Amino acid sequence: MRRRRPERIRFALMKVGLAFANTGPFSTADGVVSLATAAEGAGIESLWTVEHVIWPSSYDSEYPYSPTGKMPGDKTSPIPDPLIWLSFVAAHTTSLVLGTGIVILPERNPVVFAKEVATLADLSNGRLQLGIGVGWLEEEFDAIGVPWGKRGARTDEYVHAMRELWASDDASYSGEFVDFTNVSSNPKPPGGSVPFVIGGHSTAAAKRAGRLGDGFFPGKGSIAELTEMIDIVHQTAAEHDRDGTAIEITAAHPGLFGDDPVGAAQELASIGVTRTIIPAFMLLGSEGAEAKATQLAETIIGPIANV
């Protein structure tokens, strides 16, 4: 008998998620449980994972989120598979939203991945949000055997193909990179789809969010830069007869950790952001994740709750 879906917690207007959740001490079994249960108990709405399948010992590609151009950590740093890690989170929580932030979609087989995503969405009672990106690490694509060129077009096509597989049985899709006829993939995700959250801080990413995304998650940007990207999302959505205001915006603000977190949250809200992000390492410390999460609830989550 199918389980009844639990009632969702009604989160505040400005939701708070934790980014980089599957890294560092939280990559272990004990770590993920302590993080997930502490976050849920403190009113944190979501956890967001990162992904790299491999770590090249040397690479020329430039990591876009550090002035050094290199990823933090080193080749021994564990980065668990996002869906498997999130399945562990799902098993130990009841309301926490499970977010990939992001998976590198063009590196995946979309037919296989559609089954994996739908399975987790089904087992978690519809708590999954699929953040996707096109990737920046060319050497990783080389190791996997996926062409680096046209990865944006490949990503768009994979989104459409996966949605076809989720929407109905006897699905068909024919494109440049994916081709199948009258196939069925089950289980289906609750509601017949999984939200695609488009990651990235480029114009191309903002346009992709406007064309086909359910959400937009720029990895960085000042308020002025975020405003410009969100405008592009809305303009592109209008050009494709979509409601841009229905595309959920997730973004960070360094002011959350200063003297006026409410002001920072209000600034985000003024440009259309409804979820803000805090790095999961804020829950590290000798006090333990639960105590650190309680501190966040008192200093940030509670104060910005009604923004």
Averaged over successive runs of 10 residues, the pLDDT of the chain (307 residues) comes to 35 85 97 98 98 97 96 95 98 98 98 98 98 98 98 98 98 98 98 98 98 97 97 98 97 96 97 97 96 96 94
Looking at residue 302, the DSSP 8-state letter turns out to be T
- Tell me the backbone φ, ψ of residue 208, rounded to 5 degrees: -60, -40
Strands (E), 60-194: 97-104, 128-133, 171-174, 179-183
pTM: 0.94
Radius of gyration of the chain measured on its C-alpha atoms:
19
Q: Token pair of 229, please?
A: 């990207």
**How high is the pLDDT of residue 137?**
98
Q: Give the span between the Cα atoms of 19 and 37, in whole angstroms.
A: 15
**Helix, strand, coil abundance in the chain, percent, nearest 5:** 45, 15, 40
Alpha-carbon distances, residue 42 vs 35, 36, 56, 302 (angstroms):
11, 10, 37, 9
Phi, psi of 256 (to 5 degrees): -60, -25
Q: Tell me, what amino acid is at 35?
A: L
Domains of the chain: 17-301 (3.20.20.30)
- Residue 62 has what pLDDT? 97
* Gap between the Cα atoms of 136 and 104, Å rounded: 9
